[in-house]
Structure 1
Amino acid sequence: MLLPFLIVGGVGLVLLLISLVLGDILDHFDVGDGAISGTALSVGLVVFGASGALIATTGLDLVWAYVLAIVLGIVAYALSALVVRNLTNSSDGVPASAIGLSGVARSDVSTSGGEVSLDGPGEIERRLAYSDEPIAEGSRVVVVEHVGTRVKVAAN
């Protein structure tokens, strides 16, 4: 009797895919005022379905398959809800401005583009950059403007 497990797991998988593409689906409908995570609920349903189907094929009584699948589904929900909440709380959504940071041109930088490495806390290895004046590779630069993921630099 695998069908109930497969249906619940399939519904959970579809909800999980929707959550990954559109964001947490329960947030869009204001369900539980943010107390219930749609992503975590989807993970719980997938684990319930998958573990129930696996346990049912081992030959145990169907009652034990349901009991173990429910326990594993609740544990998966709780763990994934904790992870989702921690990730949500840790993201500030506002990137730090790079204006004023200095660095080195890692390629020739011109109006059409180039790459720089900046000296600053949390800076990535290289950034896309552009400049009003041509800047040779290896030259010191300073960021004068921050536009999206690119920075406008000037010779330092």
Structure 2
Amino acid sequence: MLLPFLIVGGVGLALLLVSLILGDILDHFEIGDGAISGTALAVGLVVFGAAGTLTASLGLELVWAYVLAAALAVVAYVLSVLVVRNLTRSSDGAPVSAVGLGGVARSDISPAGGEVSLDGPGELERRMAYSAEPIAEGSRVRVVEQAGSRVKVVAD
């Protein structure tokens, strides 16, 4: 009697892996303004399969295993849709300008390029940088221009 739960959970896991590797499949169909997300659907299916398997193996009647699994799957789906929507909105926001931020040269910087770590909010990684004058690794720098994610810096 666990086979339906295992099959649904397995399909959900496969869909989740595809969504993580290739991106959200259902996102391309514009269904319900993001109300249907392939990633959230996959999470719901995995939770349904796992919850059903666990409740059925605990000896509850099969009807209650389906009811509990379905309820938990709906909750997981709704929470996943909210999380996916929130993450999508935050990543689609207007980019924050790095002009004026200070940082440290993580490699030698020249007109050809280099890398810096900036001290601004949300600056967790290194950025590609360039400078009109050579700047040694480890020097403090300040951003004077930005083109996409690449920044022009001067020695601080």
Amino acid of the structure 1 residue aligned with 2:130: Y
Matches within 5 A, 1:12-91: 12-91=12-91
CA shift, 1:71, in A, is 1.1
1:98 and 2:98 correspond: yes
Unaligned runs of 5+ in 1: none
1:143 and 2:127 correspond: no
Q: In the superposition, relative to structure 1, how do residues 24 and 136 fare at CA in structure 2: closer, same or farther (>3 Å)?
A: closer
**Aligned residue for 2:133?**
133
- 3-state SS, counterpart of residue 153 of structure 2: strand
CA shift, 1:11, in A, is 1.1
- Give the structure-2-normalised TM-score: 0.79
In structure 2, what is the Cα distance between the partners aligned to 1:98 and 1:89?
A: 20
Q: In the superposition, relative to structure 1, how do residues 117 and 86 fare at CA in structure 2: closer, same or farther (>3 Å)?
A: closer
CA RMSD in angstroms comes to 2.7
- Give the structure-1-normalised TM-score: 0.79
In structure 2, what is the Cα distance between the partners aligned to 1:141 and 1:98?
A: 12
Amino acid of the structure 2 residue aligned with 1:69: A
Amino acid of the structure 2 residue aligned with 1:64: W
Moved over 6 A (4+): none
Amino acid of the structure 1 residue aligned with 2:50: A
Using the aligned pairs only, state the percent identity: 78
Unaligned runs of 5+ in 2: none
